[in-house]
Chain A
Amino acid sequence: MAIEVKNIRKAFGDFAALDDVSLKVDDGELVALLGPSGSGKTTLLRIIAGLEYADSGRVLIDGSEASRMHARERNVGFVFQHYALFKHMTVFDNVAFGLRVRPQAVRPLPGEISDRVMALLKLVHLDKFYDRYPSQLSGGQRQRVALARSLAVEPKLLLLDEPFGALDAKVRKELRRWLRRLHDDIHITSIFVTHDQEEAMEVSDRVVVMNHGKIEQVGTPEQVYHSPGNGFVYDFLGNYNEFVGWKDENGDVHLAEDDLWEARQQTPSAPVLTSRTHWLSRYPELTNALRKVIPGLPLPMQTPSSRAFAKMTRSQMRALLAERGIPVRVFARPHEMFVTKMPDDAHEYIPVDVIHINPAGSLAKIEMQRKNGIILQAEVPKTIIDSLAIKKGDHLFVRPKNVRVFE
């Protein structure tokens, strides 16, 4: 069943939970609504379910108007974060509930209900627990009962509100894979809400990134991760290091950091940096990366000349920046950081101290502190840590190999 919401607005008092949201979900798709708390993702889900009415806008189910249709008529399965199982009913009765409340004319016979419930319990591997009460089950088992219960009424659409949010990490991963497999088997159109980007990436066909009641980006996990549409999406989908810089009239991006200048002042022993003549720098890789995103980007740009910059105050730098182009935030993922003990002449480096190394996994995570106190993160192969003999307290030089810019 295809779902479409058009120009949905919803406010709670002064708070705009949803601000002109439109979204289309195709038949059989598994879509994740991803965003921080307060982004409106759960409200959107509840409006699709009919548990909440939008202030304005429309909900279309299979192309026909459903905005004012009652929740119980929408034929939608809903799975709650805290399971919402009927505590006083057994697992069997919970799953059977949706069939038993049907009007007599369309209610299956008791034998049929029993068969269908047991089949569903088998599907969620809980057929042996049919006579247990919810309080006798673990969190993961309860959520599987909740899922079986919502599927019992053969919904055309399955909505899941942070379905794994209350579970511990290991069970969460297990259920995630299981949900994916289930969806591959029964192909029911499904929308689930999560604030866990890894979960969204792993399970869904498409990810809808939401923030402040608006949709920031819609795309496959691949698209939103590798081509984030804006700073928020980039920020939300992973760790990053942030720098400041500017974009000139050619669209070239330059980093503008004062560490290098400070380094020259304070650590004259730093071999390469003392020999550098300017603190503003640019990265060939950066321009190359940008060229992929923005076609027809002219190359290269002029290197700003040296000495004048060395004596500048911060406000003068800012003024100069503004004069040169648009100030931008420049981002690099931890795995896009290059670290070395021997900086070369061809690039600008930021001097840092290693404050923590987490060697778990194939990529080691290094936390480093800049001279100005800002923390940088890098993920490098363990082999590099070993060959460079990097340990806590070491002085290192880092530079981003690849950056992204959002205005």
Chain B
Amino acid sequence: MWRRHSPTTEPFWMQALLMTAGFGFMAVLVLLPMAVVFAEAFKAGWVSYRNALEDPSALSAIRLTLLVAVIAVPLNVVFGLAASWAIAKFDFIGKRLLIAFIDLPFSVSPVISGLIYVLLFGANSVLGGWLADHDMQIIFAVPGLVIATMFVTFPFVARELIPLMEEQGTEEEEAAIMLGANGWRTFFSVTLPNIKWGLLYGVLLCNARAMGEFGAVSVVSGHIKGLTNTIPLHVEILYNEYNFVAAFAVASILTGLALVTLLLKSLIEFRFAGEIRAQKG
């Protein structure tokens, strides 16, 4: 884009350099690997791609991943809404602590968090022993996967909503109450519409991460084929078995999911640009 040089912008060569650097990094770190995923997946042709996906253990991995996401994402939406509502609209003791804890999953290695759940619920722990006595298995089973996934993904919704709700304050809710609306009506007619775009972004990001999570899930899963393998874990196993085509074929599903998420986000921003701006103004 040619622009007339103004005193406050950098000279053209500088702009070009910055843009090249930006796009260059993007190409090397994101686009190239993504292309490789699809190239490798279809290397042996469409049929072996389909076979890899129709393999029972692949199908069960996809089912499990969807199941985990279907449980973890809604729970995190509820948690995120509750936490950001509390943080943005009330003052209470321990508020700072809650904010710090919400950031914890970002700063703790997912492997460590997985390990903590193993120590907490594993067969050798007190809690694990009690659970085993009552015939409940958490580690190396679906509940463990859900808990680990929830831990890793719970900041996404809350982080998206807290600044938004803080900015909006409580005046509109107060106005609704003064007009006679009860709590539920106020929430659904006033609060929720005001945060719906932020909430949607949060859900998209949360969902993408929930389906793609590897570290924490890897520790608590136990890698039981057809039972506790999610898509990322299944990819790893296939890869370690030198089954590259199948590994990349399954990986392409995750990549496709990421692309769909991105597309949805852009679509929302494009389609509702006016409305989103209006809400900020």
Residues of A participating in the B interface, judged by any CB pair closer than 8 Å: 49, 51, 71-72, 76-78, 80, 82, 84-88, 97-98, 101-102, 133-136, 146, 149-150, 152-153
Contacts and interface: CB of A to CB of B under 8 A. Distances in A.
Given A87-B194, A97-B189, A78 B175 contact: yes
A135 B180 CA distance: 24
Contacts of B281: 87, 135
Contacts of A86: 172, 175-176, 189-190, 193
Given A80-B171, A86-B172, A101-B185, A133 B278 contact: yes
Contacts of A101: 176, 179-182, 185, 189
Nearest to A97: B179
A355 B54 CA distance: 91
B194 A71 contact: no
Nearest to A75: B180
A82 B171 CA distance: 8
B193 to A, nearest CB: 4
A71 B170 CA distance: 15
25 contacts: A72-B178, A80-B171, A80-B174, A82-B171, A84-B171, A84-B172, A84-B175, A85-B175, A86-B172, A86-B175, A86-B176, A86-B189, A86-B193, A87-B172, A87-B194, A88-B275, A88-B278, A97-B189, A98-B180, A101-B180, A101-B182, A135-B279, A135-B281, A150-B179, A152-B179
Contact of A153 (B174, B179, B275, B277): B179
A152 B175 CA distance: 13
A400 to B, nearest CB: 46
A147 to B, nearest CB: 12
Nearest to A12: B91
A262 B105 CA distance: 73
A80 to B, nearest CB: 5
Contact of A88 (B174, B177, B180, B193): B193
Contacts of A49: 178
A150 B176 CA distance: 10
Interface in B170-205: 171-172, 174-182, 185, 189-190, 193-194
A389 B178 CA distance: 59
B241 to A, nearest CB: 53
B180 A153 contact: yes
Contacts of B175: 78, 80, 84-86, 146, 149
Nearest to A88: B193
